[in-house]
Structure formats: C-alpha cells, structure tokens
Chains A and B, each alone.
Chain A
Amino acid sequence: MAVHDTDICVIGGGITAAMAVEKIATLRPDLRITVVEAGRSIFDRQNRIEYHRRSMAYGEHPWHDDFIEDQQAKGMISMTMAVGGQALHWGGACNRFSQEDLRLKSLYGLADDWPIEWDDLERWYVEAEHRLNVSGEPSPYPEDRRSGPYPQGPTPLSFNLQVLKRWAELSGLKFSPLPMARNLTPFGGRGACGLYDTCGEVCPTGARYSPDYTYQQLIAAKKVTLHDRTLVRKLVLDPTKATIAAAQGAHQDRPGDPIEYRARLFVLASGQCWSPHLLLLSANSRFPNGLANSSGLVGRHMNGHKFISAQALIDDETFPGQNMTHSLISREYFRCATDQAFVRHDTRVWESSAGKEPRLRSAEGKLLLGDELLADWRARALKGSSVRLRTYYDSHPSVDSRLSLDPASKNRYGDPMPMIEHRLDAQAEGREAATLAHCTNVFERMARASNGRLTGQPRVSTYWDHPGGGCRMGASPAAGVVDSFGRTHDHENLFVIGAPTTPTGGCTNGTLTFVALSLRSAAKIAESVRG
C-alpha cells in the first residue's frame, strides 16, 4: 500500500476546499496540505474558447470527462466530479442568506437555529466576496446591512435589465443587480467578462470565478499537493483513540492498489452528497452507524430549497440575448413578520425569448419560407417581451430528508452509492399550497404593473436546488454532526466544511454561504494544528 504523509488531508476538490486551502496556506505556510479529489484536473484554459464554440454549436459538454460514470448518486443535481467540482460550471450567483435563516426556530418556531451569530458569519461573507471578487450593489433593504463593501461595483445592467427593473419595481418590490463572482476587470489571474453569456457552462475568459484557477495557483506556489483521480473510500480510526488516523482510497488507473493518506487533521470537503456518504461508508465496529454519527444525524436533514418558475409577457420592448445569465433580485420577502403566515423567498427576473422562437409553420399550418418565416418571427418577437421569473423559497427539511446507502447501486469497488430523498418537514409541507399561491400573486402583481400577464401557471420545481445538509452543525453532539466550525463532535481531528454543515438551505443561492462557512472553518483549522 502506498502511504502519503501530510499535515492536513483535504478530501474533495471543489470550491469550498479551494477557498479553505487558500486561507489555511496563508495562515499556516508551515503546514503540508494535500487535496485528494476523485475526479480529474481539467487545467486546459487555453482550449476554452474552442470548448465554448462547440458547446454553442453542438451542445457538447465543455468540461470533458468531468464525471465518473460509476460514481453517481440518485437524487444528486449534478454529475460533475472533477477538480473544481460543480463550481466549474456554476452561474456565479453570490447572494447572502439573511439573519432570519439563522434564527428560524427563535423567530418563527420553525426548523432550527444555527449555532452561529449573524455578525460572526457576516464578516466571513465579506471575506468570501473579496476572494471571489464579487461584483455587487448594496441591497436597498436596510436590514441587509454590510460591514464591508463589495470588492467590485455591480455588473452593469443591460438595456434589457434596465427596462425590466423599471417594470418590476412598479409592483413595489425593490430590485438589485444579482451579485456575481464575475470579473469586470482582470483579477486573480483571470480575465474580464466578455459577455459570452455562458457562465453556467464555460467562461472562455475566466471572468466567472472557477476553482481550477485557485488550484493551479496553489500548486504553482507549492502550497498544496493535489492528488486527482483518487477516490477516498474510507476513513480509518486510530486504534486507541477516537481520532482519524488515515484516509484510504485508490487511483482510477490502479484500482487494485490501495493508497493511504496519514495526516494530523482531515477535512471532508466533498459537498452535501459525498461527505455524509464517506462517513457512512466508514462505519466500523466502534462506530457501527458511521463515523461522526453518534447523533444519528449523518445523512439527515438534507436541505436546499425548492423553487417556483413562471413566464410573463409584458408590453415593454427588450432585445433578448443581451445578457441572459445576469438577473435582478429582490430581497423583499427575505423577512416575514412573525404574526403573519410564514413565507420567505427571493424574487428573480431575467430577460427571456420564450415563446418568441422562429417557427416553420404559421398558426394556420402554412409552411413559412425565407422572408415569410422572418416576418412571422418578427411579428411575435417585437410584440412586447417575455420575462422569466423565479422564486427560491424556504423548504425546511424533515429529519427523514436523507441520504442513505443504496445497495442496488455500486461503484467498481462494490461500494454502495448514495441515494438522496428530500422531504419537507410537516410545517413546510403544510404551507406548500399557500407558498405557491403567494408567489403566484407576486408574479401576477408584477405582470399587471405593465398590462402584462403570466403565460401559464407557475410551476414548482421537481428538485431542491443548492443542496446542503447531511452533516448539520449543532451546538451539542445531540443536535448536530459538527460544531459551528465544522469540527465533528465525535472526532477531534475531523472537520466537515461547507454545504453539508448547513442546518437549513435558505431561500437564495447557497454557494457564497458555503464559502463563507468554509473560510470560518479554515481559520479554526489553521489554529487547531499545533506547530
């Protein structure tokens, strides 16, 4: 068995690991840090213009071989497993949660409070925004106070979004440009935005933050050792103590040749799916229900949020295609009066061309050719504008919202793969219809402000976005798998960071929160390893 000794072994190579490692390496340059990632490194930025071209022309996936076919989970929202993780092709949205997210139990008697104070988390948001170089504008809602400015001004609104902002604010809601991890000028070895408008697929200039840049910089500076294509299959306990002694796995090219990583401290940074999965897989005679699982909460309270989507047709003129990945956000409904029916959600607005695509036949079925087809397209396209609307809403998980080991699905090693089944708690389930009615009312109110109308009924998502949970933080060993810093209650030298530690999933994009929590964990990790 090949053995690698290191000070800190980080398992998982996504955005939270990138941010945490960057910070630990700064605070503790004396420590050896090894990142072990199951997927491959895709460090070929020189090819991304061509990948973008082929993605647009053929629909080809621009991140070649960014997944492992036999390492997939039921209920997972992305197949990606590579250095950089799902943030290789995220949209770059960097919204903050709000104070209410941390006090749901105290304020509303719902779900659980987080064992962390807002003012504490808020300063880590500021650091996260700086590391990701977020472009943003302070919220018009005074409750969204900030202790520091955004590192960049907001992504300028396109003509379309200026039109839509005027329209949307007629409803009484206040909108801001979506904060995005998108360089307006070159920063951090990455280029400026060239508005290819494919943030969620591939950014040819690197303007949208992508963790692969951070890893390449850390490797070049010899601050981290990266072992990619290496799947950690099990954490091994010290025979005499409740600490982790090693992580064992195998390289994709040598599946029969085990590798062992020995470290002083282990950081599980594999996201909300693979982090609890590894803890469950690592069950042994002393911890038969899995490591870090004396609470029984590993793989429980899997969270995220559902969303409601709608399309509207309005009178105003827009020109679809200007900046379709940018959007407007209102935080009007982040807060809910405690004496009213509970509902929390963000409200998002995008330009859209839905329903205005070119078509081959007229409404009467006549084949349209050349100028006729163009005239038909124009007549529909120039008649008002389509608008895409969406709300992410509070979807509190029950304890049975869970990740379990699926005996029917195994990888090449015979390890059972995870299966995630999201479930609302009883109170959240009970307000589903009211939430849909509320959001429909908000959309209708916005549409009516411009003699507009919704085209079709708003639809509730079939999956939970921005998933987290599975290793929730709790103030005591009975209340959570980890403490607020991500240190597991059961194993002093094992941390879980990022999305898995969140007790609830908020009502807006989660990545910035995952990163902020990870940076906070990183500071604690750096001081935890004695020199």
Chain B
Amino acid sequence: MVAAAAGVPLLRLRLSAADALTADHILVLRDVAPTVLPSALGAKGADDAVDAFVRWVRDYQEGVPLSHGYGEPRLVRTGPSPAPGYATQVAALQDAARARGGRFSTLPLETRRALLDDAFKAAGVPNLPGRPAGKHVVADLMAHYFGSSSANDLCYNARIGRNTYRAIRITTVRPRPLAG
C-alpha cells in the first residue's frame, strides 16, 4: 500500500471521474486477465476478477488513517489513488501489443510475457505489491486477485475461506477440496 506520511491532509475523497478506468480500459484489462490470472477461473471468473479490481479502485479513499499498529505505532494515511497512471499504462500496453501484431490476447505467450516484463521493469515492479500500488495496472490487478481469499483457496485447492465468515466447527476438520 502506498503510504503517505502523517503530513498528508485529512481527505476522504472518492476518485474523480477523470481518474476512473473507462469502459475501453476495462475491456483491455479483460483481454489481459486470462493471461495473468489462473485459467481455473474461466472467462467469467477472470472478468469477475477484473470487475472486483475496478470496484476496489473506484472505492479507494485517499488520506484515510491506516491501522496505526501495535508496538511501535505511527500514524500513516492512505496515499494518492493508484488510478491516475492506469489509463496511460493501459494505452501503452495496447499500443505495444498492436506494434507486435494485434490484440494482447492474440499474441504468442512469450510475446505477452515480454511486453509485461518490459512494462513492469520500466514501472519498477519487482514483485506483487501487498495491495494495488499504482506502479502498473496489470501488476495491481494480479496483486488484487492473488491476495484474495479465493486465490488462497485455489492455491491450496481447499475451502479455507480466509477472513470470511465461517462457523468455527467448519475449521476443525481438514478443509474440503474446491471441487468437492
């Protein structure tokens, strides 16, 4: 999470319309999603993951105190929205894909990988951020999905339901597999 110092003015702002991802941007993200998200999600699951990410971005609020911690606490607020750079990043990815011959999803896997590798390196994205951080929209989409409870379930192929409502008795047995 991008975190600003305590000096940031206390603001609780919804993102302006100009910052929001447009329908065209969302279509590009939906085109990219099947490459960067697990195939087990299927087309609808990948679209849902994009929509969930877009909702996350839309509902982001700036200047809100983060948990101030325990032990060595300090006041930190949420930083600027990660969204302002997204439109440019989406357009750049789209342009790069066109230059290689077409829509992103139609390119060979290694070409797609090279495009994203270049983009992430240029944006300074060494790993998945803990939460979307604004360095690159596709890395943020990936971070948003892979940090989710459902991704954790998919990894372990188990109905764990981390941080969701569950009766305690459910957790006392080995979690059932997802397909079960």
- A residues lining the B interface (CB < 8 Å): 55-62, 64, 67, 69, 76-80, 155-159, 162, 184, 193-198, 200-201, 204, 319-324, 357-361, 367, 369-371, 373-374, 377-378, 381-382, 461-463, 465
Given A196-B165, A320-B160, A378-B156, 6 more A-B residue pairs with CB atoms under 8 Å apart are A57-B59, A61-B65, A79-B75, A323-B171, A370-B37, A377-B155
- Contacting A at CB under 8 A, from B105-162, are 109, 112-113, 116-117, 120, 125-128, 131, 139, 142, 146-147, 149, 151-152, 154-156, 158, 160-162
22 sampled A-B residue pairs with Cβ under 8 A: A57-B59, A59-B1, A59-B78, A60-B64, A60-B78, A61-B68, A79-B73, A79-B74, A156-B171, A158-B172, A162-B172, A194-B165, A321-B162, A323-B171, A324-B162, A358-B146, A367-B116, A371-B40, A381-B155, A462-B71, A462-B72, A465-B71
Query: Among B36, B71, B161, which residue has its beta carbon within 8 angstroms of that of A463?
Result: B71
Specify which of B38, B155, B161 lies most central, judged by the most chain A CB atoms within 10 Å of its CB: B155
> Which of the four size classes fits the interface of chain B?
35 or more
Q: How far is the CA of A373 from the CA of B120 in the complex (A)?
A: 15
- B residues lining the A interface (CB < 8 Å): 1, 34-40, 56, 59-61, 64-68, 70-75, 78, 109, 112-113, 116-117, 120, 125-128, 131, 139, 142, 146-147, 149, 151-152, 154-156, 158, 160-175
Q: How far is the CA of A56 from the CA of B131 in the complex (A)?
A: 10
Known: A359-B128, A370-B36, A374-B38. A322 touches B73 (CB 8 A): no
Q: How far is the CA of A374 from the CA of B150 in the complex (A)?
A: 12
Q: How far is the CA of A359 from the CA of B149 in the complex (A)?
A: 16
Known: A58-B1, A360-B142. A197 touches B172 (CB 8 A): no
Q: Is the CB of B1 within 8 A of A358?
A: no
> Which residues of chain A are within 8 angstroms of B167 by Cβ–Cβ distance?
194-195
Known: A158-B172, A162-B172, A195-B166. A374 touches B120 (CB 8 A): no
Q: Is the CB of B39 within 8 A of A58?
A: no
Q: How far is the CA of A112 from the CA of B146 in the complex (A)?
A: 52
> Which residues of chain B are within 8 angstroms of A367 by Cβ–Cβ distance?
113, 116-117, 120
Query: Among A79, A157, A195, A462, which residue has its beta carbon within 8 angstroms of that of B165?
Result: A195
Q: Is the CB of A157 within 8 A of B161?
A: no
B131 → chain A, closest Cβ, in Å?
A: 7
Q: Is the CB of A378 within 8 A of B155?
A: yes
Query: Among A61, A194, A320, A465, which residue has its beta carbon within 8 angstroms of that of B152?
Result: A320
Query: Among B35, B120, B156, which residue has its beta carbon within 8 angstroms of that of A319?
Result: B156
Q: Is the CB of B125 within 8 A of A77?
A: no
Closest to A55 in B: B67
Q: Is the CB of A360 within 8 A of B66?
A: no
Q: How far is the CA of A461 from the CA of B72 in the complex (A)?
A: 11
Q: Is the CB of A382 within 8 A of B156?
A: yes
B69 → chain A, closest Cβ, in Å?
A: 8
The 5 closest A-B pairs by CB, nearest first: A321-B162, A158-B171, A358-B146, A194-B165, A321-B160
Q: How far is the CA of A184 from the CA of B127 in the complex (A)?
A: 40
B177 → chain A, closest Cβ, in Å?
A: 11
> Which residues of chain B are within 8 angstroms of A159 by Cβ–Cβ distance?
171-175
Q: Is the CB of B155 within 8 A of A58?
A: no
> Which residues of chain B are within 8 angstroms of A382 by Cβ–Cβ distance?
156
Query: Among B38, B78, B171, which residue has its beta carbon within 8 angstroms of that of A58?
Result: B78
Q: Is the CB of A198 within 8 A of B172?
A: no
> Which residues of chain A are within 8 angstroms of B154 by Cβ–Cβ distance?
374
B111 → chain A, closest Cβ, in Å?
A: 12
Q: How far is the CA of A321 from the CA of B131 in the complex (A)?
A: 18
> Which residues of chain A are within 8 angstroms of B117 by Cβ–Cβ distance?
367
Q: How far is the CA of A59 from the CA of B142 in the complex (A)?
A: 18
Q: How far is the CA of A471 from the CA of B147 in the complex (A)?
A: 45
Known: A59-B67, A358-B128, A370-B37. A156 touches B168 (CB 8 A): yes
Q: How far is the CA of A370 from the CA of B61 in the complex (A)?
A: 29
A381 → chain B, closest Cβ, in Å?
A: 5
> Which residues of chain B are within 8 angstroms of A184 by Cβ–Cβ distance?
168
Query: Among A196, A200, A359, A360, which residue has its beta carbon within 8 angstroms of that of B120?
Result: A360
Closest to B1 in A: A59
Closest to A76 in B: B73
Q: Is the CB of A371 within 8 A of B38?
A: yes
